[in-house]
């Protein structure tokens, strides 16, 4: 009963977060300027501008505009893109797979490299593995993705000509953006896993397990890693949200035709429906990932409630 109430509370919190974000996005887009001024020729008369604003519903009050937008958004309808003249949600769903592909590849590469490195550094402090883990953590977390992306393009693509600098097609097109994103992921996961393992391996119950004759591998796998899992899962869940948000910058740097780049272009053209649809879809995915992460905690440690 208590678990069901906790899940319901989290679902209601997620719904309230999405509603608050919808209001914030709506207001911020309106602060960017009048999109009608970009859609009409510069020599158009004020009457023609007013007519276009009326057709777009921009002549109504903000409250009326928001109520219309909200009533349509709950049904998955964000209107037609002002730039492309087609359904904004359809455009978003067409670009979403490219963003998910980039994020998933970066997560797999980053975590696959970070977890073994973090385990080696945590289990063997003050060794070459520990020093390598500290370097990776510092480098990965201190380098902005956009700066790292530009450096990778200059050397790996422009100077050495090893892989394409932009676009989407073959696996070689994914190399640079995935590398830029995964290095940042590696830094966080490696640091958390390394620190937690080094702390856990100094605990009394670990010493007791060793005194009972358990091997180092058994102690590490059965006791230490299990208890370090909550912190690592928390970081990974947060990273997925940051990763999806980070693709906005990465896709722009590498001209990757994903949702992030589409939203940036929509902001530049004041395409209100497309911006609102893109941001809300990304927000829904991030909130869903965080919700699943919370629900995974009891599976890792029964002492943790949902």
Q: Is residue 83 one of the residues assigned to a domain?
A: no
- Note whether 145 and 292 are same-domain residues: yes
- Are 34 and 133 in a shared domain? no
Residue 262 CB burial class (10 angstroms; 0-12, 13-18, ≥19)? buried
What value does the mean pLDDT of the chain take?
Answer: 85
Q: Which 8-state DSSP code applies to residue 293?
A: H
pLDDT of 192: 87
Q: Please count the structural domains in the chain.
A: 2
How sure is the predictor about 81, in pLDDT bands with cuts at 50, 70 and 90?
very high
Can you give the CATH number for the domain in which 167 is found?
1.10.3720.10
How far apart, in Å, do the first and last CA atoms of the chain sit? 12
The answer to whether residues 37 and 184 belong to one domain is no
Read off the DSSP letter of residue 203: S
Is a pLDDT exceeding 60 seen at residue 1?
A: no
Task: Please tell me whether residues 187 and 262 are part of one structural domain.
Answer: yes
| Residue range 252-260: mean pLDDT, rounded | 90
Over residues 86-143, the pLDDT tens digits come to: 999 999 999 999 998 998 999 999 999 999 999 889 888 889 999 999 998 888 888 8
Q: Where does a domain end: 42, 73, 104? A: 73
pLDDT at residue 196, rounded to an integer: 87
Compute the distance between CA of residue 236 and CA of residue 244 in angstroms, rounded to an integer: 12
Q: What is the pLDDT of residues 187-243, one digit of tens each?
A: 888 988 888 888 888 887 777 777 777 676 777 766 677 777 777 877 887 777 777
- Within-domain flag for 84: no
CA 263 to CA 253: how far, in whole Å? Answer: 14
Between 244 and 46, the more confident residue is 46
Q: Enumerate the H helices of 2-155 as residue ranges.
A: 2-31, 36-39, 46-56, 62-73, 88-123, 128-142, 145-152
Give the separation between CA 235 and CA 111, rounded to whole angstroms. Answer: 11
**pLDDT for the residue numbered 299:** 64
2 pLDDT more than 80: no
On whether both 14 and 125 belong to a single domain, the answer is no
Residue 81, in any domain of the structure = no
pLDDT given for residue 152 in this prediction: 92
Percent of the chain at pLDDT > 90 equals: 29
pLDDT at residue 124 in the model: 87
Greater model confidence, 2 or 293: 293
Residue 148: name the closest of 248, 54, 293, 254 by CA: 254
For residue 3, the model assigns a pLDDT of 62
- Is the residue at 94 inside a domain? yes
Q: Are residues 201 and 247 in the same domain?
A: yes
Residue 288: other Cβ atoms inside 10 A: 13
**Tens digits of per-residue pLDDT, 21-54?**
999 999 999 888 888 888 888 788 888 888 888 8
Q: Are residues 156 and 130 in the same domain?
A: yes
The residue range of the domain holding 10 is: 2-73
305 part of a folded domain: no
Query: Does residue 207 sit in the same domain as residue 114?
Result: yes
- Give the separation between CA 15 and CA 257, rounded to whole angstroms: 29
Mean pLDDT of 154-167: 91
147 and 262 part of one domain: yes
Q: How far apart are CA 160 and CA 158, in angstroms?
A: 6
Cα–Cα distance, 93 to 96 (Å, whole number)? 5
Q: Is a pLDDT exceeding 70 seen at residue 301? A: no
């Amino acid at each position: 009963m208590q678990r069901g109430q906790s899940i319901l509370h989290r679902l209601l919190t997620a719904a309230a977060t999405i509603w608050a974000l919808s209001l914030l996005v709506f207001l911020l887009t309106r602060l960017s300027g009048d999109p009608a001024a970009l859609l009409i020729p510069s020599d158009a008369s004020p009457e023609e501008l007013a007519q276009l604003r009326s057709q777009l519903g921009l002549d109504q009050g903000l409250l009326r505009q928001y109520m219309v937008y909200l009533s349509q958004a709950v049904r998955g309808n964000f209107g037609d893109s002002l730039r492309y003249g087609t359904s904004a949600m359809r455009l978003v769903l067409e670009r979403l797979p490219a963003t998910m592909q980039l994020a998933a590849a970066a997560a797999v590469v980053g975590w696959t490299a970070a977890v073994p490195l973090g385990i080696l550094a945590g289990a063997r402090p003050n060794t070459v593995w520990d020093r390598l883990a500290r370097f990776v953590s510092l480098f990965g977390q201190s380098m902005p993705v956009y700066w790292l992306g530009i450096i990778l393009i200059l050397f790996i693509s422009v100077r050495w000509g090893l892989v394409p600098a932009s676009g989407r097609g073959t696996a070689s097109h994914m190399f640079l953006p995935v590398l830029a994103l995964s290095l940042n992921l590696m830094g966080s996961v490696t640091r958390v896993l390394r620190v937690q393992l080094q702390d856990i391996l100094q605990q009394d119950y670990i010493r007791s397990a060793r005194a009972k004759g358990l091997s180092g591998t058994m102690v590490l796998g059965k006791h230490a890693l299990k208890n370090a899992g909550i912190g690592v899962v928390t970081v990974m869940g947060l990273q997925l949200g940051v990763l999806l948000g980070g693709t906005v910058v990465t896709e722009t740097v590498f001209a990757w035709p994903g949702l992030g780049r589409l939203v940036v272009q929509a902001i530049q053209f004041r395409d209100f429906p497309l911006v609102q649809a893109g941001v809300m879809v990304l927000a829904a995915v991030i909130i869903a990932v965080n919700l699943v992460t919370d629900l995974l905690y009891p599976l890792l440690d029964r002492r943790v409630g949902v």
